[in-house]
Amino acid sequence: MRGRFILGLLALALAPRLAVAQGQVTLYCSVQEEWCRGMVTAFERKTGIKVAMTRKSSGETYAQIKAEKDNPRGDVWWGGTGDPHLQAAEEGLTLEYKSPMLAQLHDWATRQAEAAKYRTVGVYTGALGFGYNADILAKRKLDAPKCWADLLDPKFRDEVQVADPNSSGTAYTLLATMVQIMGEEKGFDYLKKLHRNVNQYTKSGAAPAKAAGLGETLVGIAFMHDLVTMSVEGMPVKVVAPCEGTGFEIGSMSIVKGARNLEQAKAFYDWALTPEAQAVGAEQKSYQLPSNKNAPLPPQAPRLTEIKLIDYDFGKYGASAERSRLLSRWDKEVKSAPK
Amino acid sequence: MTEVVLAAPPARTARRRLSRDDAVMAAGLVLLAVWLAVTVALPLWTLLSKSFQDHSGGFVGLANFATYFASPALSRSLWNSLWVAALTAAVVTPLAFVYAYALTRSCMPAKPLFRLLALIPVLAPSLLPGISFIYLFGNQGFLKGLLFGNTIYGPIGIVLAEAYYCFPHALIILVTALAMADSRLYEAATVLGASRPRILLTVTLPGVKYGAISAFFVVFTLVVTDFGIPKVIGGQFNVLATDVYKQVVGQQNFVMGAVVGMVLLAPALLAFVVDRLVQGRQVAQLTARAVPLEPRPKLRFDLAMLLYCAVVGGVILAVLLVAVFASFIKYWPYNLAPTVAHYDFSNADASGWSSYWNSLEMAAFTAVFGTAIVFCGAWILEKSRVLPPLRAAVQFMAMLPLAVPGLVLGLSYIFFFNARENPLGFLYGTLAILVINSIAHFYTVSHLTATTALKQLDAEFEAVSASLKVPILRTFARITVPVCLPAILDIAMYLFLNAMTTVSALIFLYSTDTKVASIAVVNMEDAGNTAAAAAMATMIVITSVGVKLVQSGLAALVDRHTQAWRRH
């Protein structure tokens, strides 16, 4: 009796506060909080559709969508690195949709859509790079690193920080980039040598950027836009586009299969690909590059034209089988190597 | 045969006399079993059963476990988890024991203050000590030299931060264990000429054995399952809890995540077995004839205790203050100019204040309902002797939540409550599910506290009541609850504070309307806004301190009204 009574009481007291508004859409957002909220406000103002947004990292959002598969609650998943989106597409968790906006997008964004049978699309991109703390570099009287190869210099022993590819998409991008630039054997050779200079493999991909800002590490390998954010915040971080070329991520967007508010979800999807929607990021100090060709480029953003980008094969390296193979090889040969 | 027949009649009378009470207890036990099954066991099963399946859901037996144990990375994580947890528990239990001893058995001044100081680590989101330890001992830290060239990012940092975070959890159990004692035992010992150390060894320690062992295992299990601290300060030092995160969030691999989740249950199982073994030997401290122990002033002892508490409490406070300091400076470590800009949440989080109110509401409901369920549950388990197999099962379910990382619990709740066929599906996305989840998540320590308090009450109270034909429920309301009120308030406080600061399970369960402040803290930290995160965390601390002060006032009032018997 007591249990049921309490349950009843709970239910009464905290009755579901579902807004039964005319139009609403549930958004799972995987970029920074401010950017997420900027998107919500702009979309609500534009369309009058009410947005119920929750923010989680892309790995967490993927886990949630997968756990909710039998009874989906989310409508649109916007933002976050591309691999979990591709993975969700591969598993049929997301819906095929060809937005009329596709024609206005850069090639890299539509290629992402094609690779996923139109179950996802690119909304922004950012290149991988590294940043160094200029104060500490000056104090140690070291030369500024310019290339990936420079990071192997024994002078940087225990001065480089990068995430663990097992927990971070950013670090997996580094792994896949090295394999694509140098070939698998030489790529792993590079990572093994780099291992000697790594002070720690963090859990989160953006952590090395933060650590470089705070002076907890001299060099942090991360996405360049995260590093730019640090220097815009006033920290002495210099951002480097490595001379050998580099890989990049494609921040993506997908519609959840079984979405309860499909019309509104599509409205959000189309809107998120407009130049207007893609200008929101820079206003919120996020300096990724937008996927719409007509969207304004944030002046602080690292230009893709000034960065040597490799022809990153998202289809191959995003597939789960290849990913687990590379990760277990990394675990065996790099992570457990003596320093 | 004859003997049985002969013995039967008196036994039957006795049984008849107790039968109504037995029925009440059995009904309560069944309800408790259902509650724990629905909020703990069944949700967990939906996720952990995946450890026996392949990626498409087919049954594969133990194949996943074989794969997992074959990888060298696991055995390392397992070993890391075990020794870090054992070391932390070995450090924290004695530290907390002496502190609890000072709070309960000395006449030092300012006890309420020291109680409050010791609670600070649960007042703050676990992110806070992480930030503090990095500012103190990180590569740019003030006290970096104290580490003699060792790095804080790794086992040292984990043990330090975990010890900080687990201290109050151990303390609450130990204070309860030490609070009740029969002064006749001490008088007898003194009269017999036993020395102080000897009294400690032969009277005090045996009396709190159950509490001390519970505290050790609680700390051990908390460390094994905690994910936040190893993530912030653990560097590349891998433990089981971070492996779950890597598998599920990093590699989208639910199956392996479930395998690690199962491995994590092993310490809970161990704790459960030890708990059973110890329980049999624990004798009630407070027999019906007991004369409660009243500490008498002993100048040197009281001074020593005061000094000890001042040092430990001071360290705890200092760590908090570092984080508070972090929220008031412009840019660590470049610009140490003071500023209040980080407290302007309006640009960092427009929903800042609504999430703050949600937190308060959620924590209040968790404290009220959680305490009621936990205390009644512990009482039923403790005082009933009906349905032994069900009792054991319930006991185990009560120990389980401690061993479950929040991430696993959160995902389990999605699988279970969001299933189409679940009639409780309407709870999904509401504040109620956050409350239920928090009660489940923090069940174990609350349960152990309640059990420790109840164990010290003599079964004679019930026996006498029963022979006077007082219904057992009235005994509960008139004797048990009033006597245990201090512990009950402690449990309510514990649940409230944890609900204010917990993140890992709620991140999967909150909806736009039920966002809580602790999630706002994590989001700000994720965005690189450490100072704003520290500021929001400081607001949580201030709230918690406020609530704690109200509770202390209430406790003093309750004390005057219900605990007078302790003083005669």
SS (H, E, C) A279-310: CHHHHCCCCCEECECCCCCCCCCCCHHHCCEC
Q: Work out the average pLDDT over B478-499.
A: 87
| Nearest by CB: B528 against A53, A84, A210 | A210
Contact (Cβ atoms closer than 8 angstroms) between residue B220 and residue B292? no
Q: Which two tokens stand for residue B120?
A: 């600070």
Residues of B in contact with A328 (CB under 8 A): 71
- In chain B, what residues touch A19 (CB-CB under 8 Å)? 513
Exposed/middle/buried for residue A282 (C-beta within 10 Å: 0-12, 13-18, 19+): buried
Q: What integer is the mean pLDDT of A132-146?
A: 93
Annotate B301-316 with DSSP letters as a single string: HHHHHHHHHHHHHHHH
Put simply, whether B250 touches A (Cβ < 8 Å) is: yes
CB contact under 8 A, B250 and A167: yes
Q: What is the dihedral of CA B92, B94, B96, B100, to 10 degrees?
A: 170
Pick the range with the lowest mean pLDDT from A25-39, A105-119, B93-107, B292-306.
Answer: B292-306
Residue B307's nearest CA partner among B115, B516, B102 is B102
Q: Name the residue in chain B with its Cα closest to that of A86.
A: B252
Question: Residue A249 above 70 pLDDT?
Answer: yes
- pLDDT surpasses 80 at B147: no
The rounded mean pLDDT for chain B is 82
The mean pLDDT of B150-154, rounded to a whole number, is 80
> Tokens 């040092």 sit at which residue?
B311
Which pLDDT score, from 0 to 100, does residue A148 have? 96
B250: Cβ contacts below 8 Å, ≥ 6 apart: A59, A164, A166, A167, A168, A169
CB < 8 Å to B369, chain A: 6, 9-10
For helices B517-526 and A33-47, the axis angle rounded to 10 degrees is 110
Of A14, A57, A164, nearest to B249 by CB-CB distance is A57
pLDDT over threshold 60, residue A160 = yes
Mean pLDDT of A168-189: 93
Cβ of residue B459 closer than 8 Å to a chain A Cβ: no
**Cα–Cα distance list, B11 to B183, B459, B464 (Å):** 36, 19, 17
**DSSP 8-class letter at A71:** S
pLDDT of residue B74: 74
Does residue A63 surpass a pLDDT of 50?
yes
Q: B415 or B57: which carries more pLDDT confidence?
A: B415
Query: Counting beta carbons within 10 angstroms of the beta carbon of residue A29, is it exposed (0 to 12), middle (13 to 18) or buried (19 or more)?
Result: buried
Residue A3 pLDDT greater than 70, yes or no: no
pLDDT digits (tens, 9 = 90+) for B105-138: 888 888 888 988 898 888 877 777 877 888 888 8
Does B285 score more than 70 pLDDT? Answer: no
Contact criterion met (CB below 8 Å) for B415 and B486:
no
Does B420 touch chain A if contact means CB atoms closer than 8 Å? Answer: yes
User: With an 8 Å Cβ cutoff, are B430 and A15 in contact?
Assistant: yes
Report the distance separating Cα B333 and Cα A299, nearest Å.
27
* B216 part of contact set with chain A, CB < 8 Å: no
Q: Is B508 on the interface with A (CB under 8 A)?
A: yes
Q: A167–B348: do the CB atoms touch at under 8 Å?
A: no
Question: Which pLDDT band holds residue B91 (cuts at 50, 70, 90)?
Answer: very high
Residue B308 reports pLDDT greater than 90 = yes
Contact A216, A132 (CB under 8 A): no
Q: Which of residues 39-98 of B touch A (CB under 8 A)?
A: 71-73
Instruction: State the Rg of chain A over Cα.
Output: 21
Chain A neighbors of B429, CB-CB under 8 A: 16, 18, 73
B518 neighbors A200 (Cβ within 8 angstroms): no
CA distance B391 to B386: 8
Could you tell me how many helices (H) and strands (E) chain A has, helices first?
A: 15, 11
From the CA of A296, how many Å to the nearest CA of chain B? 23
In angstroms and rounded to an integer, the radius of gyration of the C-alpha atoms of chain B is: 25
Q: Which residues of B touch A16 (CB under 8 A)?
A: 426-427, 429-430
Give the residues across from A132 on adjacent strands. Answer: A219, A238
Cβ within 8 Å, pair B252-A84 = yes
Tens-digit pLDDT profile for residues A97-107: 999 999 999 99
Model confidence band, residue A175 (pLDDT cutoffs 50, 70, 90): very high
**Is residue B316 predicted with pLDDT exceeding 50?**
yes
Confidence tier at B86 by pLDDT (50, 70, 90): very high
Chain B residue closest to A324 (CA)?
A: B251
Distance, in Å, from the CA atom of B394 to the CA atom of A270, rounded to the nearest integer, reads 52
Question: Which residues, other chains included, contact A236 with Cβ-Cβ below 8 Å and sequence gap of 6+?
Answer: A133, A134, A135, A213, B334
Question: What average pLDDT does the segment A152-167 reach?
Answer: 91
Assess whether pLDDT exceeds 50 at residue A2.
Answer: no
Closest of B502, B400, B505 to residue A67, by C-alpha: B505
Question: How big, in percent rounded to 5, are the helix, strand and coil portions of chain A?
Answer: 50, 20, 35
Residue A193 pLDDT: 95
Q: In angstroms, rounded to a whole number, what is the distance separating the alpha carbons of residues A254 and A269?
A: 8
Cα–Cα distances in angstroms (integers) from residue A298 to residues A269, A279, B127, in the given order: 22, 8, 32
- End-to-end CA distance of chain B: give it in Å, rounded: 52
Could you give the CA distance from residue A28 to residue B429 in angstroms, rounded to a whole number? 14
* 3 state SS of A105: strand
pLDDT score, position B2: 36
Q: In the prediction, which pLDDT does B563 show?
A: 66
More confident residue, B292 or B18: B292
Phi and psi torsions of A66, nearest 5°: -65, -40
Which pLDDT value is given to residue B448?
86
CA distance B182 to A165: 58
Of B90, B214, B134, B543, nearest to A202 by C-alpha is: B134
pLDDT of B287 reads 63
Give SS3 for A23. Answer: coil
Residue B370: closest CA among B428, B475, B447: B447
Q: Which of residues 513-552 of B touch A (CB under 8 A)?
A: 513-515, 520, 523-524, 526-528, 530
Q: Pick A16's closest partner by Cβ from B140, B348, B426.
A: B426
* CB–CB contact B252 A199 (8 Å): no
The answer to whether the CB atoms of B528 and A206 lie below 8 A apart is yes
Q: Is A285 left (phi over 0), alpha (psi -120 to 50) or beta?
A: left
Identify the bridge partners of residue A95 per DSSP, sorted by sequence position: A255
Check: CB of residue B372 under 8 Å from CB of residue B14. Answer: no
The residue in chain B having the minimum alpha-carbon distance to the alpha carbon of residue A230 is B528
Contact yes or no for A17 and B28 at CB 8 A: no
Q: Do B414 and A68 touch (CB under 8 A)?
A: yes
Residue B385 has which token pair?
Answer: 């002797």
- Whether pLDDT at B165 is above 50: yes
Three-class SS of B158-181: HHHHHHHHHHHHHHHHHHHHHHCC
Q: Report the b/e string of B423-437 with b at 16+ CB within 10 A.
A: ebeebbbbbbbbbbb
Bridge partners (DSSP) of residue A221 are: A130
Does B235 contact A201 at a Cβ distance shorter than 8 Å? yes
Mutate to test the interface with A, among B139, B242, B354, B420 (most CBs of A within 10 A): B139
Helix (H, G, I), strand (E, B) or coil at B565: helix
State which amino acid sits at residue B94: P
Mean pLDDT of B498-519: 83
- The beta-carbon neighbor of A200 closest among B235, B242, B245 is B235
How many Cβ pairs closer than 8 A exist between chain A and B? Answer: 188
**CA dist., res. A112 & res. A119, Å (int):** 9
CA distance A223 to A209: 8
- What local confidence, expressed as pLDDT, does residue B312 receive? 94
Is B532:B524 a contact under the CB 8 Å cutoff?
A: yes
Min Cα distance B375 → chain A (Å) is: 13
Please return the burial class of B213, using the count of CB atoms within 10 Å of its CB with bins 0-12, 13-18 and 19+. buried
Query: Apex CA B417: angle with CA B412 and CA B421, to 5°?
Result: 125
Return residues 297-316 of B near A (CB < 8 Å): none
Q: What is the phi/psi pair of residue B289, to 5°? A: -95, 5
Asked if A269 has any chain B CB less than 8 Å from its own CB, the reply is: no
Q: Is the pLDDT of residue B24 over 80?
A: yes
How far is Cα B248 from Cα B257, in angstroms, rounded to an integer? 5
Out of A11, A51, A236, closest to residue B432 by CB: A11
Specify the amino acid at residue A267: A
Burial B108-137 (b: 16+ CB within 10 A, else e): beebeebbbbbbbbbbbbbbbbbbbbbbbb
pLDDT of A12 over the 50 cut? no
pLDDT of residue A198: 92
- Residue with the larger pLDDT of the pair B169 and B8: B169
- pLDDT over 90 for what percent of chain A? 61
Contact B430 A14 (CB under 8 A): yes
The answer to whether residues A159 and A282 touch, using CB atoms and an 8 Å cutoff, is: no
Residue among B65, B112, B2 at smallest CA distance from B493: B112
Contact yes or no for B209/A130 (Cβ under 8 A): no
**Residue carrying structure tokens 């009630």:** B284
| Structure confidence by residue, pLDDT tens digits, A116-138 | 999 999 999 999 999 999 999 99
Beta bridge partners of B402: none
Question: Which two three-digit tokens encode residue A182?
Answer: 């140098």
pLDDT in tens, B319-349: 888 888 877 877 666 677 777 777 766 555 5
Q: What is the pLDDT of residue B8?
A: 40
Q: What is the pLDDT of residues A283-332, one digit of tens each?
A: 888 889 999 999 998 888 887 778 888 989 888 888 888 988 998 899 88
